Structure 1
Amino acid sequence: MSNFVPTPHNAALVGDIAETVLLPGDPLRAKFIADNYLEDVVQYNTVRGMFGYTGTYKGKKISVQGTGMGIPSMAIYSYELINFYGCKNLIRIGSAGGYGNLKIRDIVFGMGASTNSNYGSHFGLPGTFAPICSFELLEKAVRVAREKGIDFEVGNILSSDCFYGEGEDVMDTKWSKMGVCAVEMEAAALYMNAARAGVNALAILTISDCPTKGEFTTAEERQETFTKMMEIALELA
Structure 2
Amino acid sequence: MAKFTPHIKSENIQIAETILLPGDPLRAKYIADNYLDDVVQFNAVRNMFGYTGKYKGKEISVMGTGMGMPSMGIYSWELINVFGVKNLIRIGSCGAMQKELKLYDIIVGMGACTNSNYASQYNFPGTYAPIASWKLLEKAKKIADEKNIDVHVGNILSSDIFYNDDSEAIKKWINMGVLGVEMEAAALYMNAARAGVNALCILTVSDHILTREETTPEERQNSFTKMMEIALEFAE
Aligned position for 1:107: 106
Kindly tell me: are residues 169 and 77 of structure 1, through their superposed partners in 2, closer, same or farther at Cα, counting changes over 3 Å?
A: farther
* Aligned equivalents of 2:61, 2:168: Cα separation in 1: 35
Contact 1:160-1:184 within 8 A present in 2 as well: yes
Kindly tell me: are residues 146 and 128 of structure 1, through their superposed partners in 2, closer, same or farther at Cα, counting changes over 3 Å?
A: same
Runs of 4+ in 1 over 3 A off after TM superposition: none
Structure 2 letter corresponding to 1:110: G
Q: How big is each residue's C-alpha offset from its partner over 1:159-208, in whole Å with a ceiling of 9 and x where there is no partner?
A: 000011101455x2210211211000000000000000000000000000
Q: How big is each residue's C-alpha offset from its partner over 1:42-69, in whole Å with a ceiling of 9 and x where there is no partner?
A: 0011100100000000111100010000
Kindly tell me: are residues 169 and 226 of structure 1, through their superposed partners in 2, closer, same or farther at Cα, counting changes over 3 Å?
A: farther
How many residues align? The count is 234
- Please give the TM-score of this superposition, normalised by the length of structure 1: 0.96
Contact 1:134-1:201 within 8 A present in 2 as well: yes
- Following TM superposition, by how much is the alpha carbon of 1:212 offset from its aligned partner in structure 2, in angstroms? 2.2
Aligned position for 2:115: 116
Contact 2:2-2:12 within 8 A present in 1 as well: no
Counterparts in 2 of 1:59-208, with a 5 A limit?
59-100=57-98, 101-168=100-167, 172-208=170-206
Contact 1:15-1:85 within 8 A present in 2 as well: no
Contact 1:42-1:53 within 8 A present in 2 as well: yes
Kindly tell me: are residues 162 and 146 of structure 1, through their superposed partners in 2, closer, same or farther at Cα, counting changes over 3 Å?
A: same
Kindly tell me: are residues 14 and 90 of structure 1, through their superposed partners in 2, closer, same or farther at Cα, counting changes over 3 Å?
A: farther
Contact 1:109-1:138 within 8 A present in 2 as well: yes
Say which SS state the counterpart of residue 76 (structure 1) adopts: helix
RMSD over aligned CA atoms reads 1.3
Kindly tell me: are residues 21 and 162 of structure 1, through their superposed partners in 2, closer, same or farther at Cα, counting changes over 3 Å?
A: same
Contact 2:91-2:202 within 8 A present in 1 as well: yes
Ranges in structure 2 where 5+ consecutive residues have no aligned partner: none
Aligned position for 1:224: 222
Shifted more, 96-105 versus 5-14: the winner is 5-14
Ranges in structure 1 where 5+ consecutive residues have no aligned partner: none
* Aligned equivalents of 1:69, 1:135: Cα separation in 2: 25
Say which SS state the counterpart of residue 212 (structure 1) adopts: coil
Shifted more, 198-207 versus 10-19: the winner is 10-19
